[in-house]
């Protein structure tokens, strides 16, 4: 059954408030109530359920740890703790129901039993406890929720660029966003997708949106405040020196004390933790080595606008097809754009995310001295990463224990589709950037990884800085029991229930992208019952904590 107390603002990891709502949320669907009545009937032969039986159900079936040591001898498992647990089962307006659980000789009604299933404590997701989550490890010890081409709201070639893209992903828990910056005609930097027909937006407007929404998200697990994990700005800068200087000025003006600055990238000796960077904005910028003494700085002209832009809507033929646009993009993808040299002032903002040049010509680039710099961050397309992984799999994994790595979608994913992010998480990549514009398998898995986590998930043991032992792998036996579904949406090409035969498909993403699969029998109609039908997965091997997903 669907959880009725939390809501997602879209794929990506944002989870609605887990606090009490203004009124109790009730399960009203007759088909759901019928299934719950069956469960209730297995626990009692009367119209009420003894509290002792309900506690046994919570412990044995729901696997809930009850804080119910009435002696008070265990400070972590006492009457006060149990009262706190009970307060989460029922809405504040249901105090009488809550009080019954605190009395061993009481009974609860069927309505009170149903109330438990619509309570935050019964969330299908094992949401983290803000009081116990560890925010004090180096940045490289976390998987970080990341977005690609954040400014786009649709297609990669002609989708709309808007600041709403930043507002949306930041409020949904994303902590690494991308900004593609180019020279603007009026002397002000602009943001858009180069070599396409996407419309440009003001860099300053983007920075304003980042300032406004970075730390105002919902459902994150920082105790005492929502959306407080540091935000990383992945800058793709194609602007010339003059507008780069304007970019730096704008970022300092709009982000003020939130912007991390004050030391030079060369001075960094260790990576800070998310807690140390709470409510801060970090910039990922290209690294520019300090100039040799007495050597003048060189000037590199910006990329001419006619080179970096596809024909505009005004100048291109109205009959231009999507295939023609894709061909333009393919040619641009094969042709490397002119190099734009980063300015000193912009490079110096890349303090903890310094985008160093990857030493690809070395026999093993991951053993090169550049790959040992504490604050370096390599970025690869998924296609380049796959090639590197074939050659240096072990060294990539070891590298990613200590240092940051970002992977982003291949440039020819025109429809804003995504690959399987677990492929890169399993290799230790912290920043797996996805196209949040599309709710596909990749974004569903991203939702599963980051739901309620505040955009940061501590890597499992074996993946973190200093870990000598490899990841702990377990064997899993999983049984999923299906009760019912209600008010399912009809397919777009179907307008009657007669031919609608829904079923549930289950996939495990455990070790590789293609994992065990199972499905229920097909039923008929938009509301249907499976009557406890089970899908069983037995002896599933090599399950790593936090890297096993059910979809």
* From 91, 155, 193, 399, active-site residue: 193
Burial 102-116 (b: 16+ CB within 10 A, else e): eeeebbbebebbbbb
Whole-angstrom Cα distance, residue 8 to residue 12?
8
| Residues linked to residue 481 through DSSP beta bridges, in sequence order | 534
Low-confidence winner among 12-16, 39-43, 128-132 (lowest mean pLDDT): 12-16
Q: How confident is the model at residue 8 (pLDDT cuts 50, 70, 90)?
A: very low
Flag whether pLDDT at 71 surpasses 50.
no
Q: Which of 232, 258, 281, 276 lies closest to 136, judged by CA?
A: 276
What pTM was estimated for this model as a whole?
0.82
Flag whether pLDDT at 224 surpasses 50.
no
Please name the fold of domain 30-122: Recoverin; domain 1 (1.10.238)
Whole-angstrom Cα distance, residue 398 to residue 148?
25
Which tokens go with 540?
Answer: 């599933």
Flag whether pLDDT at 531 surpasses 60.
yes
In the annotation, is 392 catalytic? Answer: no
The 3-state secondary structure of 146-203 reads: EECCCCECCCCCCCCECCHHHHHHHHCCCCEEEEEEECCCCCCCEECCCCCCCCCEEH
User: Which residues are CB-contacts of 361 (< 8 A; sequence separation ≥ 6)?
Assistant: none
Which tokens go with 550?
Answer: 């059910």
Domain-by-domain residue ranges, the chain?
A: 30-122, 139-291+305-311+321-458, 473-550
Q: Which of 50, 40, 65, 61 lies closest to 115, judged by CA?
A: 40
Architecture of domain 139-291+305-311+321-458: Alpha-Beta Barrel (3.20)
Low-confidence winner among 249-258, 313-322, 480-489 (lowest mean pLDDT): 313-322
In the annotation, is 148 catalytic? Answer: yes
How would you classify residue 9: left for phi > 0, otherwise alpha for psi between -120 and 50, otherwise beta? alpha
pLDDT attached to residue 100? 63
Instruction: Give the length of the chain.
Output: 551
Which tokens go with 323?
Answer: 């295939």
pLDDT, greater one: 293 or 532: 532
Residue 180 and residue 149 in contact, taking contact as beta carbons nearer than 8 Å: yes
Give tens-digit pLDDT for 371-401: 999 999 999 999 999 999 999 999 999 999 9
Whole-angstrom Cα distance, residue 360 to residue 230?
30
Q: What are the DSSP E strand ranges found in 261-385?
A: 281-286, 353-355, 377-381
Whole-angstrom Cα distance, residue 228 to residue 276?
11
Element (H, E) at 530: strand 528-544
For residue 385, how many other CB atoms are within 10 A of its CB?
A: 23
Percent of the chain topping pLDDT 70:
73
Whole-angstrom Cα distance, residue 484 to residue 32?
6
Whole-angstrom Cα distance, residue 91 to residue 84?
12
Give Cα 47 distance to the centre of its chain: 44
Whole-angstrom Cα distance, residue 222 to residue 211?
19
Please say whether the dihedral angle defined by the alpha carbons of residues 345, 346, 349 and 350, taken in this order, is positive or negative. negative
């Amino acid at each position: 059954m669907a959880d009725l107390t939390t809501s997602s603002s879209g794929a990506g990891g944002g989870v609605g408030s887990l606090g009490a709502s203004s009124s109790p949320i009730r399960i009203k669907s007759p088909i759901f109530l019928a299934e719950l009545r069956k469960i209730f009937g297995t626990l009692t032969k009367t119209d009420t359920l003894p509290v002792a039986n309900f506690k046994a159900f919570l412990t044995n079936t729901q696997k809930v740890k009850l804080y119910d040591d009435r002696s008070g001898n265990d400070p972590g498992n006492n009457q006060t703790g149990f009262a706190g647990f009970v307060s989460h089962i029922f809405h504040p307006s249901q105090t009488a129901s809550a009080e019954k659980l605190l009395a061993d000789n009481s009974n609860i009604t069927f309505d009170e039993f149903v109330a438990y299933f619509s309570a935050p404590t019964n969330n299908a997701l094992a949401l983290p406890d803000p009081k116990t989550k560890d925010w004090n490890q180096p940045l490289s010890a976390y998987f970080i929720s990341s977005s690609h081409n954040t400014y786009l709201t649709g297609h990669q070639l002609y989708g709309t660029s808007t600041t709403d893209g930043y507002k949306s992903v930041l409020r949904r828990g994303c902590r690494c966003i991308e900004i593609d910056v180019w020279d603007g005609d009026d002397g002000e930097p602009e943001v858009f997708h180069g070599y396409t027909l996407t419309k440009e937006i003001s860099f300053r407007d983007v920075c304003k949106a980042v300032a406004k929404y970075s730390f105002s998200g919902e459902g994150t697990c920082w105790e005492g405040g929502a959306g407080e994990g540091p935000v990383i700005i992945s800058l793709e800068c194609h602007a010339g020196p003059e507008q780069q200087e304007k970019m730096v000025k704008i970022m300092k003006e709009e982000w003020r004390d939130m912007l991390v600055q004050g030391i030079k990238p060369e001075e960094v000796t260790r990576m800070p933790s998310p807690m140390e960077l709470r409510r801060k904005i970090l910039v990922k910028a290209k690294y520019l080595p300090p100039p040799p003494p007495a050597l003048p700085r060189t000037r590199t002209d910006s990329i001419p606008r006619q080179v970096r832009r596809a024909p505009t809507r005004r100048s291109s033929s109205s009959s231009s097809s999507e295939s023609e646009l894709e061909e333009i993009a393919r040619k641009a993808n094969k042709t490397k754009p002119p190099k734009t040299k980063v300015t000193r002032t912009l490079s110096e903002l890349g303090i903890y995310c310094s985008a160093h040049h990857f030493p690809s010509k070395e026999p093993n680039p991951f053993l090169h001295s550049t790959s040992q710099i504490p604050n370096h961050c390599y970025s690869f397309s998924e296609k380049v990463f796959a090639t590197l992984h074939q050659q240096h799999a072990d060294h990539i994994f070891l590298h990613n224990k200590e240092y940051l790595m970002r992977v982003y979608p291949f440039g020819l994913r025109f429809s804003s589709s995504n690959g399987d992010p677990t492929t890169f998480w399993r290799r230790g990549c912290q920043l797996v950037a996805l196209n949040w514009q599309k709710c596909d398998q990749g974004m569903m898995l991203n939702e599963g990884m980051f739901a309620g986590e505040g955009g940061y998930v501590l890597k499992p043991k074996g993946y973190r800085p200093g870990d000598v032992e490899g990841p702990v792998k377990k064997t899993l036996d999983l049984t999923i029991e299906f009760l019912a579904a209600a008010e399912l949406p009809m397919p777009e090409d179907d307008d009657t229930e007669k031919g609608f035969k829904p079923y549930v498909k289950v996939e495990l993403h455990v070790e590789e992208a293609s994992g065990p699969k199972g499905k229920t029998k097909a039923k008929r109609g938009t509301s249907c019952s499976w009557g406890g039908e089970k899908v069983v997965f037995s002896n599933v091997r090599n399950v790593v904590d936090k890297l096993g997903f059910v979809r």
